[in-house]
Structure 1
Amino acid sequence: MTEEQDAKGDRPDNPEDAFAQLVDHAQALGFEYCAYGLQVPWPLTRPRTHMFSNYPTVWQARYAEQHYLGIDPTVHHARTSVAPAIWSHRLFAHTPALWQEAQDMGLRVGWVQGVRDVGHNGMLTLARSGEPLSAAERREKASQVLWLAHTAHDTMSCLLPPVIACEGLTSLTEREREILRWTGDGKSASEVAAILEIGERTVHFHVQNVMAKLGAVNKTAAVAQAVALGLL
């Protein structure tokens, strides 16, 4: 995951290798720990979050055991903003126990950068146990951290399911999107056919293609999934 690889289009073969490269970059920037999370909003009732970190294993287990993902203010920040955030008492004002436990585990200084993309959100965290972040260091490294967050996001999006997160808008044809939009507006196949001046069998053909691409069980699910993934 280097600038040269990014320019050539070369990517690691799996998320584990990609994360190992991410750790190397984090350490080169002066952070001993890093974490990356990718949230895909599908299925709607069970959105998936993929998480990678080199935090102490005891902390990873504690974090999962206490379901801290649901109350972590850094996660909430990254889901709602692409502005960087620095760990502080103020940021963790409503979750002091989480803040104290993290510090006790040696996670005392952190830099969070969210990335929002079509259909999925990403979050990069760089952390260390020692030296606080100065204003000068933040200015010096801001562009590098932003580049690293976007590169990690682009890479992981292509390596983690669903693959459609990488294929993005190009995964559906314009005709397929057009039919899904009208279907989402409540139009029947015959009505869509009349609006678009095509045969009803053609409408069914495109709907079936979309369902196959998205793995949807029916056209209602296909519309919902396409909207959730930002394909429309």
Structure 2
Amino acid sequence: MAINKTINARPLPTGLTSSQQWTLLEWIHLVGHIETEQELKAFLEQVLAPATAERLLLALGRLNSQNQLQRLERIINVSYPAEWLDQYINENYAQHDPVLRLHLGQGPVIWEDRFSRAKGENEKRFIAEATHHGMANGVTFSAASERNRLGSILCLAGRESGRNATLISMLNSLTPHLHQAAVRVANLPPASPGNMPLSQREYDIFHWMSRGKTNWEIATILDISERTVKFHVANVIRKLNANNRTHAIVLGMHLALSPALVINE
């Protein structure tokens, strides 16, 4: 099985039993033969979910220059609560989720560790909502490929997730291979000025524009001045070659900008 040289393949973790090593090698072998999104979801549902016994989600997204997720392109939800995921997307919680500020590929992130260091009111409000939905505990794994500026996160939610050192080691080794599979099945166009026209902040503004928010409301949500919002709205209209705000929203939705989760740097 060929390894994509743009990804740092991780060695098998030490300390595994022979049975655990074979299980991990079998997982890697199965993932290496995945060619469709249906096969990828089936692997997550039929292999990983029973093994982890936790809530599971895999997502693929574009990276910024710091190897952080800029926006999510594909989400494969295996067992996350649908109500929470819908709220997360609709409220654009990605802006305030401290876990998503991780630099992809640098190792597992235990949610409680990030949540305990939350400072801003928006982060604390997000954590309170996550706790209300039973999503305060978990671990996120990640991998990235610099050549196509794509990254993946494997999120495992549950109180026991961060306590199983063996499972964490196994999933950390598996994640780069899941990332390769996600890139294969997504078949996304390369990032370029043509299909990634907006800056990070402009994506934030567009997200709320497309949901009918006024400049004042956007300023309040993002905790910036209304003058700054007007500046970014004008840039969005210009970059999308639109005639006005409404035209920009229509064009942006045609480019599939709106459904993506937008993540602040």
The TM-score, its normalising length taken from structure 2, stands at 0.50
Selected match of 2:52 from 30, 33, 46: 30
- Can you give the 5+ residue segments of structure 1 that lack an aligned partner in the other structure? 166-232
47-56 or 115-124, larger mean C-alpha shift: 47-56
Distance 1:82 1:25, change over 3 A: farther
CA contact (8 A) 2:138 2:155 kept: yes
Partner of 1:141: 167
Whole-Å separation in 1 of the counterparts to 2:133 and 2:49: 18
Distance 1:16 1:108, change over 3 A: farther
The total of aligned residue pairs comes to: 157
CA contact (8 A) 1:38 1:121 kept: yes
1:11 partner amino acid = H
Does residue 97 of structure 2 align to residue 72 of structure 1?
yes
Higher helix share: 1
| Residues 10-89 of structure 1: pairs in structure 2 closer than 5 A | 11-40=33-62, 49-53=73-77, 54-79=79-104, 82-88=106-112, 89=115
Report the secondary structure of 2:80's partner residue: coil
Does residue 142 of structure 2 align to residue 120 of structure 1?
no
Selected match of 1:111 from 125, 129, 139: 139
Q: Rg: which structure is higher?
A: 1
CA contact (8 A) 1:38 1:123 kept: yes
Whole-Å separation in 2 of the counterparts to 1:4 and 1:98: 37
Whole-Å separation in 1 of the counterparts to 2:30 and 2:73: 29
Distance 1:153 1:124, change over 3 A: same
Distance 1:25 1:70, change over 3 A: farther
Whole-Å separation in 2 of the counterparts to 1:86 and 1:19: 24
1:150 partner amino acid = P
Whole-Å separation in 1 of the counterparts to 2:111 and 2:44: 20
CA contact (8 A) 1:22 1:152 kept: no
Q: CA deviation at 1:92?
A: 4.2
Q: CA deviation at 1:101?
A: 1.4
2:43 partner amino acid = Q
Report the secondary structure of 1:83's partner residue: coil
Q: Which of structures 1 and 2 has the larger relative contact order (alpha carbons within 8 angstroms, sep 6+)?
A: 2
Distance 1:48 1:37, change over 3 A: closer
Does residue 129 of structure 2 align to residue 101 of structure 1?
yes
CA contact (8 A) 1:31 1:126 kept: no
Q: CA deviation at 1:78?
A: 4.3
Q: CA deviation at 1:163?
A: 6.3
The TM-score, its normalising length taken from structure 1, stands at 0.57
Report the secondary structure of 2:134's partner residue: coil
Q: Deviations over 1:101-145 (max 9, x none)?
A: 1222122321111212132111111112x44633xx22x223211
Report the secondary structure of 2:135's partner residue: coil
- Can you give the 5+ residue segments of structure 2 that lack an aligned partner in the other structure? 1-23, 65-69, 192-265
CA contact (8 A) 2:62 2:151 kept: yes
Report the secondary structure of 1:133's partner residue: helix
1:159 partner amino acid = V
CA contact (8 A) 1:115 1:123 kept: yes
Report the RMSD for the aligned CA atoms in angstroms: 3.1
